[in-house]
Amino acid sequence: MSKNLLIVESPSKAKTLKKYLGSEFEILASYGHVRDLVPKTGAVDPENDFAMKYELVARNGKHVDAIVKAAKEAENLYLATDPDREGEAISWHLQEILKSKRGLKDIRPQRVVFHEITKKAVLDAVANPRELSQTLVDAQQARRALDYLVGFNLSPLLWKKIRRGLSAGRVQSPALRLICERENEIKAFVTQEYWTVHLDSHKAKQTFTAKLTHFNGEKLEQFSLPSEEAQGKVLSALQAHDTAAVTAVEKKKRSRNPAAPFTTSTMQQEAVRKLSMTTDRTMRTAQQLYEGIDVGQGATGLITYMRTDSVTLANDAIAEIRHYIENKIGADYLPSSARLYKTKAKNAQEAHEAIRPTSVYRTPEAVKPYLSADQFKLYQMIWQRAVACQMAPAKFDTTTVDMSLGEGVFRVTGQVQTFAGFLSVYEEGRDDSDEEDSARLPELKVGETLPADKVYGEQHFTQAPPRYSEATLVKALEEFGIGRPSTYASIISTLKDREYVTIDQKRFVPTDTGDIVNKFLTEHFTQYVDYHFTAKLEDQLDDIAEGRREWKPVMAKFWKDFAKQIEEKAGIERAKITSEALEETCPKCGTHQLQIKFGKRGRFIACTGYPDCDYTRNINETAEEAAQAAAQAAAEAAEVEGRECPKCSKPLVYKQGRYGKFIGCSGYPKCKHIEPLEKPKETGIACPKCGKGHLIERKSRYGKIFYSCNTYPDCDYATWNPPISETCPKCHWPILTIKTTKRRGTEKVCPQKECGHSEVITPPEGK
């Protein structure tokens, strides 16, 4: 047994570190979090000084046991979890677990922190351990307690007032608000028409287009020509002239500097824009690159720690990058001094450095054979950005030309890149199509006359603000101070998983559920979804981490107001949240008003006189459209000849539902009998569960074939694989099923999971 025990979070990181630390160290992984709050009410007790009840994470029990066993025999214990608050908290939990074990009560583990997994960084960290930082642990405990108190008190309220299964979160809810408010802006947006006037001209064989900027001595604004009629009058005056005179030529030299190296936020944004990778996928891939990949020399950490707000680079890294630029790219591309970047994020502290390759000489092409497609794309982007940030600026010649045509002045701007600089390695992606005009212009001089080849107008309409993409949402979250970069991926995943948003053309669209939840929270818990309040709370957590505040007073102040609000809002009627009155009388009963209601399938319009009047229609339908659809459905609802409902004896009819046509009782809604349009395919095999029915082939709502008992719902037995009438030789279950896979071919399988019997009928191809 080694005298030194070092604990990390992941087994892949353990494998990388083993290469550097050798046989003197035993390295074990905790496999992430080892303790968490108990998943029930009372895990955080505000009445008892916010005491927190933790329990072991069940899936990691065996790993904790291995750590405890090894710790009892080790002389030195090092905790090397990730270098952020969450990593500090995991180390603290490990320490508390070890202290609770017999023989380890007086254990004093040492904290080891490194921001890149290289031999130098790891050996330096082990040689200079420190004590656990209680302020970082307190900040993480406060964050976890806040999230717990919000979730466990707001979510049950959403269940009662809206629908079961919903959730609200401290940072998730303001993020949802951003998306919903943008959608409301789009819905309220009124499109305006405007026109622009253009001149096509040429010199020699080079053509170009200029835009009208002044007319009759007045500068044209966006809406100076609001209609076709207005631009027609301008065109009539200008088209009387067939030549334009150059009145001004302005030439300038312009340079463009590279962007700073990646932080967590900018990496996520660029991965969305340039690589079409979600924030969650980006962070998982970055974690793999950080922890280490075998690139022909054993497991090697390829990038520095990927959860960081900082744009600073270590002096050694800058020196190496500058050496690479001078020797591999060219001395012309190396500025006279190193570029230094200033961190814009408030309280940037999660890591000392920006995200960069651990060695710039480990080029993307060199490691490509060892990386997956995602790993290579992300590594290449990180490498290119880190190199580009230390390169010379790109240089451009810009020329602006004014030309007069009658009473009009036209302007055209051309740009030519004269030196690529950092752009030869990397260029930032863009959220919208706002690329600069880089047209090349002919050499023009003041007083020169050019032909007016064509003078014409173009119609335009103002555009509503675009919906948020993952990149622009991350940017907005960072600007408002909602959450921290390390939480953005989980915020977005939660919004998707809870079905508060859907993705349309890579943009977020709030669902009816998301809209209702946001409406409830913004109206009744305004303070807690307020962007500034959320950001202020993040600042207080940063103060706790820096030792400027105590965590329990922060918790107490938050809880006092929040608990009072929860109590006050408990009596709100559900109808006031989920319903919205319309100024329209029901076309069916002619008496009651219509309202927008919220059901299992989202919003719909219904009569307030329900159940006396059962009128409903889709949210986007007019009364006329709904009447036409109802008439068509009635016409299609022909009776099934010779068939009566087995439950109430009324005629069966053909119906149309969200999953297509089916047969149903004409007595609906009093009788809810339904059956599929096509008669189920019989298997002739008795149901092994009830013994009364037999198995038939059915189709799921998603079109997948399965086999179930024909007496459903009395018997709920079902299996995905085709059944055969053979008894299992191992457990004697009455049937077996046929299963085909690429790896094992076709085999007979017992459908009882606990049995596990299988026998190959036909081996896979090639075996």
Residue 140 has phi, psi (to 5 degrees) of -70, -40
Determine contact, residues 706/676, Cβ cutoff 8 Å.
Answer: no
> Under the phi-then-psi rule, with left for phi > 0, alpha for psi from -120 to 50, and beta for the rest, what region is 282?
alpha
DSSP for 380-436?
A: HHHHHHHHHTTSPPEEEEEEEEEEEETTEEEEEEEEEEEE-GGGGT-----SSS-PP
Q: Which of 572, 571, 568, 592 is nearest to 582 (CA)?
A: 592
Q: Measure the CA–CA gap between 193 and 461, rounded to whole angstroms.
A: 5
Q: Measure the CA–CA gap between 341 and 318, rounded to whole angstroms.
A: 12
Q: At what angle do helices 264-275 and 279-291 cross, to 10 degrees?
A: 120
**Encoded tokens for 251:** 């030439």
10 Å CB burial of residue 172 (0-12, 13-18, 19+) is: buried
Residue 25 CA from chain centroid, whole number:
39
Among the options 148, 194, 290, 305, which is catalytic?
305
Q: Which of 118, 114, 109, 108 is nearest to 126 (CA)?
A: 114
Q: How many CB atoms lie within 10 A of CB 465?
A: 10
Amino acid code (one letter) for 359: S
Type and span of the H or E element at 6: strand 4-8
Determine contact, residues 54/37, Cβ cutoff 8 Å.
Answer: yes
Task: Produce one character per residue of 645-655: b if its CB has 16 or more CB atoms within 10 Å, e if not.
Answer: beeeeeebbeb
Q: Measure the CA–CA gap between 172 and 529, rounded to whole angstroms.
A: 9
Task: Produce one character per residue of 121-148: b if its CB has 16 or more CB atoms within 10 Å, e if not.
Answer: bbeebbeebeebbebbbbbbbbbbbbbb
Residue 322 CA from chain centroid, whole number:
35
Amino acid code (one letter) for 555: M
Task: Label the pairing between strands 243-256 and 449-451.
Answer: antiparallel
Q: How many CB atoms lie within 10 A of CB 217?
A: 7
Q: Measure the CA–CA gap between 673 and 220, rounded to whole angstroms.
A: 68
Determine contact, residues 388/357, Cβ cutoff 8 Å.
Answer: no
Determine contact, residues 57/36, Cβ cutoff 8 Å.
Answer: yes
Strand spans (E) along 272-393: 293-294, 299-300
712 is catalytic: no
Active-site residues, by number, are 305
